[in-house]
Amino acid sequence: MASESLQTYQMYIDGAWVEAAGGETFESFNPFTAKPWALIPRGGAEDVERAVAAAHRAATSGDWPAMTASQRGHMLRKLGDLVVDAADDLAKTEVRDNGKLLAEMNGQTRYLPQWYYYYAGLADKIEGSVIPIDKPGHFNYTKWEPLGVVACIIPWNSPLLLMAWKLAPLLAAGNTAVIKPSEFTSASALEFMKLVEQAGFPPGVVNVVTGFGPEVGGPLVEHPKVAKIAFTGSDRTGKLIYQQAAKDLKKVSMELGGKSPNIVFADAHIENAVKGAVSGIFAATGQTCIAGSRLLVQESIHNEFVDKLVSLGAQARMGNPMSLETQVGPVTNIPQYEKVLGYIDIAKGEGAEAVLGGGRAERPECGDGWFVEPTIFTGVRNDMRIAQEEVFGPVLSVIPFKDDEEAIAIGNDVLFGLAAGVWTQNIGRAITMADKLQAGTIWVNTYRAVSYLSPFGGYKHSGLGRENGQQMIKEYLQQKSVWIETSNAEAPNPFVMR
């Protein structure tokens, strides 16, 4: 395809639309056509410098820090209103860029405004307190202050949603942002900046620098004026960023991968559990950190359950993600496509049996797209790589278990701890499982439910900190304690502590 026919994008820095300082661009691909559709500026250290300088200026001078919290909330509400109007277009941009289903992205982008509304409401409820202090003649109060410049590093699987989880609370708290979208899905963040501009945020409050991990993410993480890094992505990159952040004691919150157990007991509502298993692994083509990629099934119902699952999985309609009928879309990018196929080979090599799928999809409706057949492996042991490592694709490992103790042991025997599903009609069992499973989110008789209202984040290697919910705003604030001597009495012995 000639580059003239590609949609061209600019970055958004200091309230202006700009090319990369080096003048270079890179192509963004549509995973369904396997062809480039957009040209994105290839940023580097110089662009990061400009963006961080602008964000730092905006955080420390001018209109933004002078605004009242209620005014910040008002701007966020306005942004939410603009997202409502743009939701359907934003959904199409996401589908074109990352291949997720329009049916799912419509839902996501229509839900997105809630993050901006919710944190808009919270902006002017960030209250300090007066401490009944135990030192006579002293008054002590606390207040919460913004951190300054927050670097938001975003993955490709749900770009606008995961950006909102960071951007809405950090702005409500009075910070400024430099956003680095994934190099595979930069377009939606840039489209979103048109709304930020329309909402009237002062220049420099929100900036986007596009480009590759080491070229943009690296200098951003290292920049001395970045106070905090909010990251969602792989555990490998998260660990790198954490080490880098430690050099300057930057604050970090990170949501990393998962290898979540989805546990089905014999006493479950079986038809719902089958749907829950499908939704856990084939929705979003399995490209979600919360994928229920280890399906633990109680031995007594194992074969019957697998039969039902295979028959539902086999009916999944693959094809153009823009069609509302499609149920499984392509994998977002070539490296990921190769990684998923590689894991299928690893699983076969480990002795697992593919009872559904097990390779690339060669169906006519998949065209040239990067499609993998919905794949179910049985005969998986929890110590196999296919059960321990995050595949991030439509590949399910089924593992049998005998009783509650064994389900808990297998469920927790993994480095990650992002989420877990439990399917049972026994309320006592459900609560005990929720207590014992080491994961930040537990779903009972449901799966993949998330909301701006409820904290989300990982145990163990799945991350640090939480996103969503009220307490989340504290992740973007620091507390100050103020002491005032009120008695005007003569100062006591200065050589001892007061």
User: Is 261 an interacting residue with respect to ligand ADP (CB under 6 A)?
Assistant: no
Beta strands in 337-435 (DSSP E): 353-356, 375-378, 395-401, 416-417, 419-423
Placement of tokens 């951003």 in the chain: 220
Dihedral (CA of 70, 76, 79, 85) sign: negative
Whichever of 73 and 218 has its CB closer to ligand ADP, that residue is 218
Active site residues: 255, 289
| Whole-number Å distance between alpha carbons of 96 and 105 | 11
Q: Which of 30, 29, 11, 31 is nearest to 21 (CA)?
A: 11
- At a CB cut-off of 8 Å and minimum separation 6, what does 335 contact? none
Q: How far is the CB of 154 from ligand ADP (least distance, A)?
A: 6
Q: Choose between 337 and 401: whose C-beta lies nearer to ligand ADP.
A: 337
> Is residue 234 near ligand ADP by the rule CB under 6 A?
yes
Q: How far is the CB of 25 from ligand ADP (least distance, A)?
A: 16
Q: Which of 95, 122, 209, 241 binds ligand ADP (CB under 6 A)?
A: 241
Could you please report the per-residue DSSP string of 78-146? HHHHHHHHHHHHHHHHHHHHH---HHHHHHHHHHTHHHHHHHHHHHTT----EE--SSTTEEEEEEEEE
Q: Does 180 bind ligand ADP (CB under 6 A)?
A: yes
Smaller CB separation from ligand ADP, 218 or 421 = 218
The CB-of-8 to ligand ADP minimum distance in angstroms stands at 20
Of 240 and 387, the one with the shorter C-beta distance to ligand ADP is 240
C-beta of 214 vs 351, nearer to ligand ADP = 214
Shortest distance, CB of residue 416 to ligand ADP, whole angstroms? 14
How many residues are present in the chain?
498
Amino acid at 169: P
Burial class (CB in 10 A: 0-12, 13-18, 19+), 339: middle
Q: How far is CA 359 from CA 346, 350, 363, 365, 419, in A?
A: 12, 16, 12, 16, 27
The answer to whether residue 47 forms part of the interface with ligand ADP (CB under 6 A) is: no
Q: Which is nearer to ligand ADP, 148 or 155 (CB)?
A: 155
Residue window 384-423: x/- pattern of binding to ligand ADP, with contact defined by CB under 6 A: ----------------------------------------
If binding means CB under 6 A, how many residues of this protein chain bind ligand ADP? 17
Binding string, 136-175, against ligand ADP, x = CB under 6 A? -----------------xxxx-------------------
Scanning 122-130, 178-186, 269-277, 410-418 for contacts with ligand ADP by CB under 6 A, the matching segment is: 178-186
CB 429 within 8 A of CB 265: yes
Of 155 and 329, the one with the shorter C-beta distance to ligand ADP is: 155
342 lines the binding site for ligand ADP (CB under 6 A) = no
Based on C-alpha coordinates, what's the Rg of the chain? 24
Q: In the set 195, 240, 433, 477, which binds ligand ADP (CB under 6 A)?
A: 240
Q: How many CB atoms lie within 10 A of CB 245?
A: 20
Smallest separation (angstroms) from ligand ADP to the CB of 496: 48
Sequence-ordered alpha helix ranges (H) in 269-380 = 270-281, 302-314, 334-349
For 169-250, list the strands marked E by DSSP.
176-180, 206-208, 226-232
Q: How far apart are the C-alpha atoms of 494 and 398, rounded to whole Å?
A: 69
Least distance CB 241 / ligand ADP (angstroms): 6
Tokens 């509302």 -> residue: 324
Q: Are 200 and 77 in contact (CB under 8 A)?
A: no
Cβ proximity to ligand ADP: between 154 and 281 the closer is 154
CB of 212 to ligand ADP, least distance (A): 6
Stretch that binds ligand ADP, among 45-53, 159-167, 177-185, 275-283 (CB under 6 A): 177-185
Considering only the stretches 202-210, 234-242, 308-316, 488-496, report the one whose residues sit in contact with ligand ADP under the rule CB under 6 A. Answer: 234-242
- Pattern 203-222, ligand ADP, x by CB under 6 A: ----------xx--xx--x-
> Of the candidates 207, 237, 298, 382, which one interacts with ligand ADP according to CB under 6 A?
237
| Footprint on this chain of ligand ADP (rule: CB under 6 A) | 153-156, 180, 182-183, 213-214, 217-218, 221, 233-234, 237, 240-241
